[in-house]
């Protein structure tokens, strides 16, 4: 399932645009994470279905003024630089980072929403966003 990051400008935050998009397009989405403040809102969703469902809902959201960006790049770990300190583990909002039985860090890009928090938190700069 493809993931998208939705950014709402201040003037449309209070409108139920995502609900309307689901009802009017008939496309189901999973809300992975939502952060809503008084002046901005960011929601990360995955779209249930294929290309046609993705295009339908993305187009609807964009027409309503929502900025929609697909999340494609993976987070890459440099095994030589990682010291398994665990700093990235606690900070990951989706639990995409786990520790294996030997307390080594394991990253699951399927669960990752590319928020970049782990990249910032890593003291050895072992993590980076894959270039497109």
The answer to whether 129 and 78 are in contact (CB under 8 A) is no
Q: Is residue 75 at the binding interface for ligand SF4, with CB under 6 A as the rule?
A: yes
Spatial neighbors of 102 by CB under 8 A, at least 6 apart, are: none
Binding of ligand SF4 by 127 (CB under 6 A): yes
What beta strand segments (E) does 1-132 contain? 3-8, 29-36, 41-47, 67-71, 75-77, 97-99, 105-107, 127-129
| One residue of 4, 30, 118, 131 binding ligand SF4 per CB under 6 A | 118
Minimum CB distance to ligand SF4, residue 113 (Å): 5
Binding ligand SF4 (rule: CB under 6 A), the pick from 15, 85, 106, 110 is 85
Task: Provide the sign of the torsion angle of the four alpha carbons 31, 9, 21, 4, taken in this order.
Answer: negative
| Residue from 88, 106, 110, 131 binding ligand SF4 (CB under 6 A) | 88
Q: Among 87, 98, 106, 130, which residue interacts with ligand SF4 (rule: CB under 6 A)?
A: 87
CB atoms under 10 Å from CB of 54, counted, come to: 20
SS3 71: strand
Q: Does 36 bind ligand SF4 (CB under 6 A)?
A: no
For residue 121, give Cα distances in angstroms to 23, 88, 90.
Answer: 39, 6, 10
Using the rule CB under 6 A, is 92 a contact of ligand SF4?
Answer: yes
Q: Which of 52, 94, 98, 131: binder of ligand SF4 (CB under 6 A)? A: 94
Which residues of the shown chain bind ligand SF4 in the complex (CB under 6 A)? Answer: 75, 77, 82-88, 91-94, 96-97, 105, 107, 112-118, 121-122, 124, 126-127
């Amino acid at each position: 399932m493809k993931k998208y990051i939705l950014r709402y400008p201040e003037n449309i935050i209070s409108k139920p645009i995502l609900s309307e998009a689901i009802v009017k397009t008939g496309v189901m989405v999973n809300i992975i994470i939502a952060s809503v403040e008084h002046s901005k809102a960011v929601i990360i969703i995955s779209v249930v279905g294929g290309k046609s469902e993705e295009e339908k809902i993305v187009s609807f959201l964009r027409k309503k003024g929502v900025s929609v960006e697909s999340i494609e790049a993976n987070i890459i770990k440099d095994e030589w630089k990682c010291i398994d300190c665990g700093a990235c583990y606690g900070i990951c909002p989706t639990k995409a980072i786990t520790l294996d039985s030997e307390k080594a860090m394991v990253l699951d890009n399927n669960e990752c929403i590319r928020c970049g928090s782990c990249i910032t938190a890593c003291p050895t700069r072992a993590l980076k966003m894959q270039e497109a």
